[in-house]
Structure 1
Amino acid sequence: MPVDYDLVILGGSSAGVGAAVTAARSFHARVALVEPDVNLEPGSRECGLLALRQMSRSIRSIARVRQLTGMGSAEAESISPLNFDRPTRWASAVLANVAEVESPAVLAGFGIDVIRAEGEFCAEPRLSVMANGRVLRSRRYLIAPGSRWVTTRIEGLTRTGYLTPETLGYWVKKGQTLPQNFVILGTDPQGIELAQILARLGRSVTLITQQSQLLPYEDPEMSRWIQAQLEADGVRILTGTPITQVRKIQDKKWVQAGNRAIETDEILLAIALYPHLKPLQLEAVGIRKKRGKLVINDKLQTTNPRIYACGAALGGYALDNIDRYEAQIALKNALLLPMFSTNYHQVPWAIGGIDPTLARVGYTEPQARSRYGDDLVILKQSFQPLYQSQTSGETTGFCKAIARKNGEILGVHIWGASAEELIHAFAIVIQQNLTFEAIADLLPVSPSFSELYRELGIAWRNHRRQRKGLWQMGLKTWHNWQRDQTD
C-alpha cells in the first residue's frame, strides 16, 4: 500500500530541522517535520544564555586591557551593577537571524511539510504518526526530539525551589537581577560553563558533583586543567560529594553536601539533559528504552527497524555537530540502505562555553591503554611557547596527543585558544588513517596558534630519535666530521 512520505521526522530540536533540510535538498525525499508548538517566547532561553556569555567575554577583555595599561582593577565587581539590556538585544538579533533560516516559510520552500503538533506513533492498522488529527504514513521515521533538564530526588529540593540553565536564561532575558550566591549541582558542560561565567560576573559560586572529577567522560588530565582554571576564576569545587538534603531557612537556601552545610541564595541544577520522548507512545510500536535513552544499534535503528533516532534521544553531551553526524548516518540508512555505521572515534567536538575551549577527537588515555596496553606514546605541549599565545595574551592552554609507537594517532585533546579550530587537522589525520608524520610535515602560518602542530611534530620526531640511539650517534659523528673539515 502506498505511503505519503519517504521520511517523517519527529523533531523539537535543531538536529530534526537540519535532518529535514538535508533529506529534502540532498536526498530529494518527500519529508514531513512534526514539531511541538512551543508556547514560550522562542529563543528566550538561548538569548539569556548568549547574553551571559557575551558579558563574561567582555569582562575578560576589559581585564586584559587593564592588565596591559595598568588602568585600575580588573575585578568584575568594578563594573557592577550588571546591565544585560544591550547584550540581550544583541543576542536577540543574532538568534533572530539564525531562526530565519529555520522558519516554516523557508522549510516549506524546500518542499518540507511542517506540522506544529505533538506527534505520536500508532501501530494499527499500519505504522504511522498521528499529528493534528492527520495520519502520516512513511517508509521510514526519524526521532530527533528536544531535551529537558533531569531533576533529582534530593530531599527538599522541589519544595525549596531551584533554577536550571533554561530558567536562568529566562531570568536574564527578562532583566531580573542575578543573586549574589549560587550553588550549582552537577557537572554537565553547560553547568560548568555557567559556574565560570557567574564567577567572572562577580558572583560567589560553589560547584558540587558526586563524580570524582569534572567532565567524567573526558581525559582525567584535561579535567584537572579545567578544574584549576575554574578555581583560578573563583569557583569553589567539591568533587566526590553527595547531596543529601536541601532546605530553606528564612530567605536563604541551605545545601547539605557531604559533611558541609552550604548557605546560598539560589540553586542551579545542571546534572544532565534527557530526551522529551513521553508523548511519542514508543511502546506502542515496539521501541525499547534503557535508563531513559533509546536502545539503538550502530546504524541508529531503534528496536523497530523502520524507526531511527539521533541527537538527544541517544544521550551524551548536547553538541550540535555530533547531532548532525548522527542525523547524517540515520538519513543515509533510512533513505538508502541500512549499511552505514557510526564511528564516533573520528568525529571532533568541542565544549565551547568553557574558557579556554576544550576540544577532542579520538580516545582518552585510559581508553587507549585499555585497547593497546603499553603500545602508546603520550605527547604533551603547552601553549606557552607559541608566539601567537604570547602576543595575544592567551598563554593558558595545553595539548595532549595519544599515539601508538608506529605513529598512528589515537586521540588528541586540546584545551586552549582556538581549540575548536585546531582540532580539525587531527580529525582529518585520524579519518584518513595517517600517522604523526603528516602533522610533523606541516608548515603552519607564523605567527598562529597552528604552530602547535609544529611543536608536536618536533616532540614526535625527538621521541622517535631517542628510541633509535644509532640515529643519534650517527648525527653526532656526522657533525663532528663536518667540524673537522671546516677551515
Structure 2
Amino acid sequence: MKSFDAIVIGAGQAGPSLAARMVEKGMKVALIERKFLGGTCVNAGCMPTKTLVASARAAYVARTGAAYGVNIPGEIAVDMKVVRARAETVTMNARNGLIGWLGGMDGMSVIYGHARFEGPKTVSVNGETLTAPRIFLNVGARPVIPELPGIDEIDYLTSTSIIQLDTLPRHLAVIGGSYIGLEFAQMYRRFGAEVSVIEHGPKLASREDEDISDAIADILRAEGIGVHTDAGNIAFARNGSGISVTAGSAKIDASHVLIATGRKPNTDDLGLDAAGVATDQRGYITVDDRLATNVEGIFALGDCNGHGAFTHTSYNDFEIAAANLIDGGDRKLSSRIPAYALYIDPPLGRVGVTEKQARASGRKIMVSTRPMSRVGRANERGETKGFMKVIADAETREILGAAILGIEGDEAIHGLIDAMNAGTTYPALQWSVPIHPTVSELIPTLLGDLKPV
C-alpha cells in the first residue's frame, strides 16, 4: 500500500490545479486519470469545439464578405481535414502543457488508470492500493444516450466523437436543442452541411426566457437550419447509406445523427458504495457548501457534483477547496453567482436568474431590454441580431440577472457579472463611463431603462 497526503481522482479543471497547490505546500499527492489530462474542456469540450466554431465563423465571414465590399471570387470551400487538424493541435498543445507542468513537480505522482474505492481512505488503481486522509473526486461527465427506437441500429455521433469527424455530413440531424447541440448545428451549417435540430420540448435552450429562446431559433433559421420543436416519438431507421429520422410529423433523410441530449456524471464505476459516498438519483455526488461529501475526508469537484457543468465552475470548485483547506479561508459554494455562455454566433452571455425565475420568487422586479440594432458597435459591424436584457429588484435595486444575446455578448456580460459579484446596485452602475464604441457602453443605458413589470 502506497501512502499519500492526498489523492485526486480525475484531471479535469479542478483536479490538477488543486493537486499542484497541495504539492507547493509540501504535500505528497497522487493524481489519477483514466484517459487524458485536462478532462472534457481540453480534450472534448471547450478548446476543440471553440476552435471548430472559429473555423466555421471564418467560412461564414468569407461567404458574406460582399456585404462589406470584400469580394472573394469562386466558391468558398472548407477542408474538413484541416479544420479537424487545427482543433486537434489546440487540444494537444494544452494537454502536453499539462503533462509537462504536472510531470515536473516534486511530490506529484501522475498515474494513468481507472481508480476505484476499496474503503473511505483507500483506492485501487492498476493493481496497487493507495491511501490518503483526503481524496478529491474530479471525474467529470459524459454524454447521455437516450433509449429511442432504432438508436441501436444506427451509427450515431456524440459531442465527443463528432470532433474527430474530418468529412462534411450531407445532412446532420441534431437530437437535442440545448447548448451543445445548438453550437454544433450552426457550426456544421456554416461548414456547408444541411442541418436539422430536433427538440422534444417546446423551445430551444429551454433554460432561458422565452424571448431569448425565440431569438435563438430565429438566428438559426435565418442561416437555413431546420428547427423542429415539440418533436415527439423520435425514432431512427437505416435508409440505404443514410439514416431516416422521424420526429412527430417530420421525416428527415440524414447522413449523420448527433445525440446531444445531456450529460451524466462519471460516478457509476468508482466503487462509491465501498467508501459510503452518497449520490442523488441522477448519480451526482452529494456535497455540502464546502464541497465535502457525507464521508469525512472525501470531496467532489466539477461536473460530478451537479453544481455546474462548466469549466469555470469546476475551476471555482478548486478555488473554494484550496481556500478552505489550504489557505484557512471560508468560501462557500452557495456564494457563486451562476454565469455561462452559449457559443452560437452571435453568442449569448448569461448571469444570475432569468425573468421567469425572478417573477416566481415573488420579488417586485424591474426589466429592461434593448435590441442590438440600437447598439452602435453592432451596426458598425453589421451584426444586429439579438438583444440585451437585465432584471433588477425594484426595492433593493440589486441586479438579479442579465442576458446579452448579440455580438460580443459573451464578453460584454462580464460588466454585469462583476457588478453582481461586487454587490453594486444598478443606480451606481448607471454612472460608470464606458468606452465608445463598444457593446458594453450600452449597459448603463440598459439599466436606465428599467421599468416595473
Q: Which residue of 2 aligns with 1:405?
A: 394
Distance 2:26 2:359 in 1: 45
Question: Are the counterparts in 2 of residues 44 and 170 from structure 1 also a CA contact under 8 Å?
Answer: no
**What SS does the corresponding residue of 1:300 show, helix, strand or coil?**
coil
**Which amino acid is the alignment partner of residue 133 of structure 1?**
G
Say if 1:411 and 1:331 are closer, same or farther in 2 by CA, change over 3 A.
Answer: same
Q: Which residue of 1 aligns with 2:105?
A: 109
Question: Are the counterparts in 2 of residues 243 and 255 from structure 1 also a CA contact under 8 Å?
Answer: no
Q: After superposing the two structures, state which structure 1 stretch, 177-186 or 314-323, moved more.
A: 314-323
**TM-score of the pair, normalised by structure 2:** 0.89
Say if 1:195 and 1:438 are closer, same or farther in 2 by CA, change over 3 A.
Answer: same
Shift of 1:338: 9.4
Say if 1:110 and 1:409 are closer, same or farther in 2 by CA, change over 3 A.
Answer: farther
Q: Establish whether residue 59 from structure 1 lines up as the match of residue 59 from structure 2.
A: yes
**What SS does the corresponding residue of 1:162 show, helix, strand or coil?**
coil
Q: Which residue of 1 aligns with 2:287?
A: 296
Q: Establish whether residue 284 from structure 1 lines up as the match of residue 281 from structure 2.
A: no
Shift of 1:258: 1.6
Q: Which residue of 2 aligns with 1:120?
A: 116
Q: Which residue of 1 aligns with 2:75?
A: 78
**Which amino acid is the alignment partner of residue 376 of structure 2?**
Y
**Which amino acid is the alignment partner of residue 420 of structure 1?**
D
Contiguous gaps of at least 5 residues in structure 1? 468-487
Q: Establish whether residue 95 from structure 1 lines up as the match of residue 91 from structure 2.
A: yes
Q: Which residue of 2 aligns with 1:15?
A: 14
Say if 1:250 and 1:348 are closer, same or farther in 2 by CA, change over 3 A.
Answer: closer
**What SS does the corresponding residue of 1:103 show, helix, strand or coil?**
helix
Shift of 1:269: 0.5
Distance 1:227 1:423 in 2: 21
**Which amino acid is the alignment partner of residue 192 of structure 1?**
L
Shift of 1:21: 2.7
**What SS does the corresponding residue of 1:394 show, helix, strand or coil?**
coil
Distance 2:148 2:369 in 1: 41
**Which amino acid is the alignment partner of residue 166 of structure 1?**
T
Query: 1:274-302: CA deviations, max 9, x gaps?
Result: 22223311111112222122222332222
Query: 1:261-280: CA deviations, max 9, x gaps?
Result: 32221211111122222331
Distance 2:321 2:209 in 1: 29
Q: Establish whether residue 419 from structure 1 lines up as the match of residue 409 from structure 2.
A: yes
Distance 1:394 1:385 in 2: 11
Contiguous gaps of at least 5 residues in structure 2? none
Say if 1:266 and 1:288 are closer, same or farther in 2 by CA, change over 3 A.
Answer: same
Question: Are the counterparts in 2 of residues 383 and 452 from structure 1 also a CA contact under 8 Å?
Answer: no
Distance 2:13 2:189 in 1: 30
**What SS does the corresponding residue of 1:372 show, helix, strand or coil?**
coil
Q: Establish whether residue 159 from structure 1 lines up as the match of residue 153 from structure 2.
A: yes
**TM-score of the pair, normalised by structure 1:** 0.83
Distance 1:216 1:422 in 2: 23
Q: After superposing the two structures, state which structure 1 stretch, 390-399 or 439-448, moved more.
A: 390-399
**What SS does the corresponding residue of 1:379 show, helix, strand or coil?**
strand
Shift of 1:349: 2.2
Q: Which residue of 2 aligns with 1:385?
A: 374
Say if 1:140 and 1:117 are closer, same or farther in 2 by CA, change over 3 A.
Answer: same
Q: Which residue of 2 aligns with 1:31?
A: 29
Shift of 1:45: 5.0
Q: Which residue of 2 aligns with 1:481?
A: none
Say if 1:292 and 1:106 are closer, same or farther in 2 by CA, change over 3 A.
Answer: closer
**Which amino acid is the alignment partner of residue 228 of structure 1?**
D
Task: Specify which of 325, 333, 337 is matched with residue 346 of structure 1.
Answer: 337
Question: Are the counterparts in 2 of residues 345 and 361 from structure 1 also a CA contact under 8 Å?
Answer: no
Distance 1:432 1:447 in 2: 25
Q: After superposing the two structures, state which structure 1 stretch, 284-293 or 331-340, moved more.
A: 331-340
Distance 1:366 1:28 in 2: 49
Task: Specify which of 209, 228, 231 is matched with residue 219 of structure 1.
Answer: 209
Question: Are the counterparts in 1 of residues 48 and 90 from structure 2 also a CA contact under 8 Å?
Answer: no
What is the number of equivalent residue pairs in this alignment? Answer: 447
Q: Establish whether residue 195 from structure 1 lines up as the match of residue 185 from structure 2.
A: yes
Residue identity (%): 26
Shift of 1:344: 6.2
Distance 1:339 1:71 in 2: 58
Q: Which residue of 2 aligns with 1:137?
A: 131
Distance 2:335 2:231 in 1: 31
Question: Are the counterparts in 2 of residues 35 and 117 from structure 1 also a CA contact under 8 Å?
Answer: yes
Instruction: Calculate the aligned-residue CA RMSD, in Å.
Output: 2.9
Shift of 1:97: 3.0
Question: Are the counterparts in 1 of residues 23 and 105 from structure 2 also a CA contact under 8 Å?
Answer: no
Say if 1:63 and 1:95 are closer, same or farther in 2 by CA, change over 3 A.
Answer: same
Distance 2:144 2:444 in 1: 43
